């Protein structure tokens, strides 16, 4: 599919007309990093800007302090195009909070996409209907803000949903393997005793957590290359001369798809419980009730997006940096992709560095990163307009989504 020249020119003009505001948006969010559910500056800045641009804004949407929903309704029936903007920063270390995952650019891409679509459907020449819905989604970094918004029914306002995430390299990755993830807290309860005087009177909870950690390390040899289990010991006891009666750890389990994650969870849980049995400790396992599911990219929409990226010359925007290998990360957008057709492509911002590093945070504040975000937004606008204007294409998008079964398997794995 080539880009219609009239549409291409319109989209480019719409973006250029808002370039100054969008650049300031990317800079302000970057310069005011805030961790999940505390993004008060970002919430106020984004909602105020969107109201100025003609959107109807619901602040604190769904009772979530820093979530919002901004809509532009044509008043006519048609597909409802959802777009996500993330804006939370990352707690990189005890003292450093920064946009090490580039969410300032995700916020920019989302707003730019929504603006372009809003101007397109407001044109007198536009004969269709539909609605543009921008979701301001807080706390993606580990807290699953989109899951709270799903539970609040906010995503019921859209029929399809799109967003894009920055990464290293100079090309979009397309269907990057964003995989399923579940976290847990494990606690072991033993019996204290004097370690020098009568250690045999104690039940050593430190032995349990160490045994469990080593069991996880042994399990890795038999894991699929796409599986991940990683974690830390958060409490290893209180004094060296006391047999620890309490220890704890925080672990994360990842697998390619939802059903494979459930299988891996079962293996991991057996290891934790066997460590309790071996040491005589009691155990408490607390699985996170807010898992991240794998992202099921809609193939029809992704093909349109990728073609548009080529058409807008994205490969020429950031020359000179090779693409790193794909990152098997996780995102709460995966949960959105289980309830409606969606895409979550990655776009390079001309840096060899991976996300979740200080160097990547620096790159997310550069002009290169901003320019890559604008081109990506243009491609998302083309994708959204295709859904809005081509009834047959939209039907194909919906039909593809219907092939996904509830347990995360598909009748046609090529959908991934």
**21 shares its domain with 128:** yes
Containing structural domain, residue 221: 180-287
Predicted confidence (pLDDT) at residue 125 exceeds the cutoff of 60: yes
| Pairing relationship of beta strands 160-162 and 342-343 according to DSSP bridges | parallel
- Assess contact for 150 and 337: CB atoms under 8 A: no
Domain at 73, CATH number: 3.40.630.10
| Strand partners of residue 134 | 70, 83
**47 shares its domain with 60:** yes
- Assess contact for 62 and 152: CB atoms under 8 A: yes
When pLDDT is cut at 50, 70 and 90, the band that residue 177 belongs to is: low
Burial of 191 (0-12, 13-18, 19+ CB in 10 A): middle
Alpha carbons 91 and 112: distance in angstroms, whole number: 26
**299 shares its domain with 272:** no
**186 shares its domain with 160:** no
149-160 pLDDT, tens digit per residue, is 999 999 999 999
- The residue among 261, 287, 313 that closes a domain is 287
**39 shares its domain with 157:** yes
**173 shares its domain with 35:** yes
- The residue among 287, 308, 337 that closes a domain is 287
**187 shares its domain with 259:** yes
**120 shares its domain with 31:** yes
Token match 């160490």: residue?
210
pTM of this structure: 0.87
| DSSP element (H, E) containing 304 | helix 299-311
30-60 pLDDT, tens digit per residue, is 999 999 999 999 999 999 999 999 999 999 9
**110 shares its domain with 141:** yes
**How many domains, in total, are found in the chain?**
2
Q: Which residue has the higher pLDDT, 1 or 369?
A: 369
Using the Cα atoms of residue 374, residue 143, residue 409 and residue 150 in order, give the sign of their dihedral: negative
**198 shares its domain with 114:** no
The pLDDT, as a whole number, for residue 412 is 43
Domain at 185, CATH number: 3.30.70.360
Alpha carbons 22 and 194: distance in angstroms, whole number: 63
The CA-atom distances, in angstroms, between 15 and each of 61, 131, 164, 313 are: 27, 19, 17, 15
Of 415, 400, 174, nearest in space to 306 by CA: 174
When pLDDT is cut at 50, 70 and 90, the band that residue 176 belongs to is: low
Q: How many Å separate Cα 391 from the centre of its chain?
A: 29
- The residue among 222, 254, 287 that closes a domain is 287
**166 shares its domain with 87:** yes
**174 shares its domain with 194:** no
């Amino acid at each position: 599919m080539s880009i219609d020249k009239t549409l291409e020119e319109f989209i480019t003009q719409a973006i250029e007309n808002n370039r100054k505001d969008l650049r300031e948006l990317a800079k302000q969010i970057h310069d005011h990093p805030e961790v999940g559910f505390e993004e008060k500056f970002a919430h106020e800045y984004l909602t105020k800007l969107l109201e100025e641009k003609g959107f109807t804004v619901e602040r604190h949407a769904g009772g979530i302090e820093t979530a919002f929903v901004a809509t532009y309704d044509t008043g006519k029936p048609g597909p409802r195009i959802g777009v996500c903007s993330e804006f939370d920063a990352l707690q990189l270390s005890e003292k450093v909070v920064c946009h090490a995952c580039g969410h300032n650019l995700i916020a920019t891409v989302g707003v730019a996409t929504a603006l372009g679509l809003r101007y397109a459907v407001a044109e007198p020449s536009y004969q269709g209907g539909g609605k543009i819905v921008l979701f301001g989604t807080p706390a993606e970094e580990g807290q699953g803000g989109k899951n709270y918004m799903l539970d609040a029914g906010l995503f019921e306002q859209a029929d399809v949903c799109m967003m894009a995430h920055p990464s290293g390299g100079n090309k979009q990755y397309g269907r990057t393997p964003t995989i399923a993830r579940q976290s847990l807290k494990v606690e072991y309860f033993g019996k204290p005793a004097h370690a020098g005087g009568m250690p045999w009177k104690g039940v050593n909870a430190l032995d349990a957590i160490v045994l469990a950690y080593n069991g996880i390390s042994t399990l890795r040899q038999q894991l699929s290359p796409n599986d991940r289990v990683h974690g830390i010991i958060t409490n290893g006891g209180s004094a060296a001369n006391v047999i620890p009666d309490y220890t704890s750890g925080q672990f994360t389990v990842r697998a390619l798809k939802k059903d494979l994650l459930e299988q891996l969870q079962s293996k991991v849980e057996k290891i934790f419980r066997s460590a309790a049995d071996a040491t005589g400790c009691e155990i408490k396992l607390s699985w996170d009730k807010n898992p991240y599911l794998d992202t099921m990219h809609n193939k029809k929409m992704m093909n349109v997006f990728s073609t548009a990226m080529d058409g807008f010359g994205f490969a020429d925007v950031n020359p000179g940096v090779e693409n790193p290998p794909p990152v098997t990360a996780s995102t709460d957008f995966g949960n959105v992709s289980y309830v409606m057709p969606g895409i979550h492509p990655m776009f390079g911002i001309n840096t060899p560095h991976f996300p979740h590093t200080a160097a990547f945070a620096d790159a997310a504040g550069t002009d290169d990163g901003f320019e890559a975000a604008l081109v990506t937004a243009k491609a998302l606008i083309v994708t959204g307009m295709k859904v809005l204007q081509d009834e047959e294409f939209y039907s194909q998008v919906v039909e593809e989504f219907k092939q996904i079964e509830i347990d995360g398997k598909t009748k046609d794995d090529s959908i991934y």
